[in-house]
Amino acid sequence: MGDFLGYVIAFFAILLIRYFITAGFFYAYYLKVKNKKTDKKILSQRPLKKDQVKKEIYWSIISSAIFAFFGALLYWLYLHQFTGIYLDPAEYGYWYLPVSIVAVLLVHETYYYWLHRAMHIPKIYKVVHKVHHNSLSSTPWTAFSFHPWETILEALILPIILLIIPLNIYVLLFYLIFMTFSSMVNHLDIEIYPAPFRRSKFGKMWIDATHHHFHHKEFTTNYGLYFTFWDKWMGTESRKM
Ligand SMILES: [Zn+2]
Ligand SMILES: [Zn+2]
């Protein structure tokens, strides 16, 4: 039990450092571009609400504590050999490394899209998801600004995936870093991907700051996490895309 608490504290420290370094870095860029006011990349000219950033940081610190609990749980499951996490990249063959990350991306995407749709059911929305939408125009600090119920629902899926899908430890680390950057980029409220990429077939598959900006603006469109395919299939993509 003492060990488990130690894991939680260690993960909490790591997650706080992750949040403040990455959001701080993106926020410096955010302020630089937003101060220009006329930059074409700026998605929303709406001023932030009073104390918005303070509130986002408050909820994100609580989210980090919850993510830390799930991190410790995952580590405990790994130590007791319940997970599919493995150390030697050659164990399942190198071909398996890209295949496994695509599988994790697709499972996570599907879980998130339908969870997100459920979180917009009015009764659930008020309790679980409203905190995130209090940020009408998002900032990098919004990336982990969730009510604890939402954080728990979002965090649940990774331990479940890792009980089922074998994943190399380095692929898992890459995935966690990718997840962090994707959340920051999508909440930046400034479009940073080059226009030719966004117009390309490949680019149109990916969610970017513009896509998620419309979710915060329109509420009932653009529910996806990394990919646009569920929104396209279900007809929930914003018409402004
Ligand atoms: Zn939402
Ligand atoms: Zn958001």
Question: Is 240 inside any structural domain?
Answer: no
Question: Residue 1: pLDDT above 80?
Answer: no
pLDDT for residue 188:
96
pTM of the model: 0.94
Tally DSSP H helices, then E strands, for the chain.
Answer: 11, 2
pLDDT for residue 74:
97
pLDDT for residue 240:
84
Distance from Cα 26 to the centre of ligand 1, integer Å: 22
The pLDDT tens digits of the residues spanning 136-192 come to: 999 999 999 999 999 999 999 999 999 999 999 999 999 999 999 999 999 999 999
Is the Cβ–Cβ distance between 178 and 199 less than 8 Å?
Answer: no
What is the extent of the structural domain holding 7? Answer: 2-234
Question: Is 239 inside any structural domain?
Answer: no
The pLDDT tens digits of the residues spanning 11-56 come to: 999 999 999 999 999 999 999 999 887 777 899 888 899 999 999 9
The pLDDT tens digits of the residues spanning 102-144 come to: 999 999 999 999 999 999 999 999 999 999 999 999 999 999 9
- Burial (CB count within 10 angstroms: exposed 0-12, middle 13-18, buried 19+), residue 51: exposed
Choice between 241 and 71, residue whose per-residue pLDDT is larger: 71
pLDDT for residue 141:
98
Distance from Cα 161 to the centre of ligand 1, integer Å: 23
Find the ligand nearest to 115 CA: 1
Question: Is 241 inside any structural domain?
Answer: no
pLDDT for residue 39:
78
Per-residue b or e along 121-137, where b marks 16 or more CB atoms closer than 10 Å to that residue's CB: eeeeeeebbebbbebeb
Find the ligand nearest to 209 CA: 2
How far apart are the C-alpha atoms of 8 and 240, rounded to whole Å? 43
DSSP conformational letter for 20: H
Question: Residue 94: pLDDT above 80?
Answer: yes
Nearest to 188 by CA among 39, 24, 27: 27
Number of domains comprising the chain: 1
pLDDT for residue 18:
97
Question: Is 77 inside any structural domain?
Answer: yes
Distance from Cα 33 to the centre of ligand 1, integer Å: 25
Distance from Cα 219 to the centre of ligand 1, integer Å: 6
The pLDDT tens digits of the residues spanning 217-238 come to: 999 999 999 999 999 999 999 9
